[in-house]
């Protein structure tokens, strides 16, 4: 049996998305992608906001943007799309201070949605999530190099913050510890989710490529990258897919006419019962009306062409199946 596990980039449900959602059904944020999402066996996303109506905007250091969504609709929306787990290690989960972060943790827990990458303590922030997809056991760890002031400490809430440097002793210790705790559960699939690097960058630096390879050498099976707001290329390393950046999935951001941060993909990995990865399928998407949609012909064509160009640098070539790109994997 094969399991279809989806991965999406940034899901930002605050600001104008939050306002629009108050006037429409909870699942409207997923547009006409909803049926595709519900058809998956598992779904993992980066939640690029806090879920709360409380807290005050972070002012301890300069922050240009603050993202917060009302959990009364946001949790039903996540659950309605079948989201199994949220990465929380990012630069927005503390936008409304610790009160809203605690609400986010509690709200996801109460909604039965797993989470990793942030917590009430540093230990909790680095704790892996465990998700069962049909009879497939998935372990999920989440790290970020964004916004060091949001890092969790022994006695304060925050994110699983690391330097993206496999030679850094602190990084090796923290990441290996999280991977070891994940491996103790003997998962069929181990996913490392990384909110790394600056915005609007089309290619990962060599240091990110080295770090992704190191993570796979240390036991990760799939790298789920995000943060740039634009998708980057895909690499298969030792038969394991590296999504250097999954781009934006839902948001209210201004669109760059050249970089097209409103266009990306839903990435779907096909996994056997024993955890062997067989293929990665990329379904083009685009954002408008504060929701995600199946990409139209022009947008889909642009995204496929751009993904091929970006991935060629890693020796990656795709097959085509309808609107989707397909990367066969060795298993």
Query: Looking at residues 306-323, what average pLDDT do you find?
Result: 98
Q: Which two tokens stand for residue 42?
A: 């598992």
Q: In terms of C-beta density within 10 A (0-12 exposed, 13-18 middle, 19 or more buried), how is residue 62 classed?
A: exposed
Check pLDDT > 80 for residue 176. Answer: yes
Calculate mean pLDDT across residues 207-225.
98
Q: What is the pLDDT of residue 12?
A: 98
pLDDT band at 17 (very low <50, low <70, confident <90, very high): very high
Average pLDDT value over all residues in the chain: 97
Backbone angles phi and psi of 298, in degrees to 5: -65, -45
Mean pLDDT, residues 288-305 taken together: 98
Length of the chain: 331
Q: Is the pLDDT reported for residue 331 higher than 80?
A: no
DSSP 326: E
Q: How far apart are CA 288 and CA 295, in angstroms?
A: 10
What confidence score (pLDDT) does residue 155 get? 85
Contact 117, 91 (CB under 8 A): no
Give the pLDDT confidence score for residue 19 in this predicted structure. 98
Average pLDDT over residues 29-34: 98
pLDDT computed for residue 108 by the predictor: 98
Q: Is the pLDDT of residue 330 over 90?
A: no
Q: How many CA atoms lie within 13 A of 43 on its CB side?
A: 23
Name the band, by pLDDT with cuts 50, 70 and 90, for residue 149: very high
pLDDT-based confidence at residue 287 (cuts at 50, 70, 90): very high
Question: pLDDT exceeding 90 applies to what percent of the chain?
Answer: 98
Q: Terminal CA-to-CA distance of the chain, rounded, Å?
A: 14
What is the reported pLDDT for 154?
87
Task: Please tell me the CATH superfamily of domain 2-328, with its number.
Answer: Metallo-dependent phosphatases (3.60.21.10)
Instruction: Please state the rounded mean pLDDT for residues 202-228.
Output: 98
The predicted-structure confidence for 43-89, as pLDDT tens digits, reads as follows 999 999 999 999 999 999 999 999 999 999 999 999 999 999 999 99
Over residues 188-195, the mean pLDDT reads 98
Say how many C-beta atoms besides its own lie within 10 A of residue 258's C-beta: 9
Query: Using one digit for the tens of pLDDT, what is the confidence trace for 217-274?
Result: 999 999 999 999 999 999 999 999 999 999 999 999 999 999 999 999 999 999 999 8
- Quote the pLDDT of residue 1: 82
Would you say residue 37 has pLDDT above 80?
A: yes
Across 90-94, 115-119, 271-275, 306-310, least confident range: 271-275
């Amino acid at each position: 049996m094969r399991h279809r596990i989806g991965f999406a980039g940034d899901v930002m449900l605050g600001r104008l998305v939050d306002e629009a959602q108050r006037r429409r059904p909870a699942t409207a944020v997923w547009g006409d992608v909803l049926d595709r999402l519900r058809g998956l066996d598992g779904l993992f996303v980066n939640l690029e906001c806090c879920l709360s109506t409380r807290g005050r905007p972070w002012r301890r250091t300069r922050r240009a943007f603050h993202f917060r969504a009302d959990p009364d609709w946001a949790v039903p929306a996540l659950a309605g799309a079948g989201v199994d787990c949220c990465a929380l290690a990012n630069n927005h989960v503390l936008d409304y201070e610790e009160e809203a972060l605690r609400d986010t943790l509690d709200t996801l827990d109460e909604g039965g949605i797993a989470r990793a990458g942030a917590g009430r303590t540093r230990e909790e922030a680095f704790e892996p999530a465990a998700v069962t997809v049909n009879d497939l056991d998935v372990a999920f760890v989440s790290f970020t190099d964004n916004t060091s002031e949001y890092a969790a400490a022994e006695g304060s809430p925050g994110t699983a913050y690391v330097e993206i440097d496999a030679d850094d002793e602190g990084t090796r210790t923290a990441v290996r510890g999280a991977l070891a705790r994940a491996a103790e559960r003997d998962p069929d699939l181990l996913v490392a989710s990384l909110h790394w690097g600056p915005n609007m960058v089309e290619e990962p630096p060599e240091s990110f490529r080295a770090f992704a390879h190191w993570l796979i050498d240390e036991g990760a099976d799939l790298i789920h990258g995000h943060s740039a707001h634009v998708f980057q290329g895909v690499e298969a390393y030792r038969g394991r897919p590296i999504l250097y950046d999954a781009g934006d999935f839902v948001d209210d951001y201004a669109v760059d006419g050249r970089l097209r941060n409103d266009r990306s993909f839903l990435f779907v990995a096909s996994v056997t019962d024993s955890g062997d990865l067989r293929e990665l399928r990329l379904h083009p998407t685009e954002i408008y009306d504060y929701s995600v949609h199946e990409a139209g012909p022009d947008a889909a064509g642009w995204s496929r062409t751009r993904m091929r160009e970006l991935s060629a640098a890693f020796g990656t070539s795709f097959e085509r199946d309808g609107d989707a790109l397909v990367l066969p994997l060795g298993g």
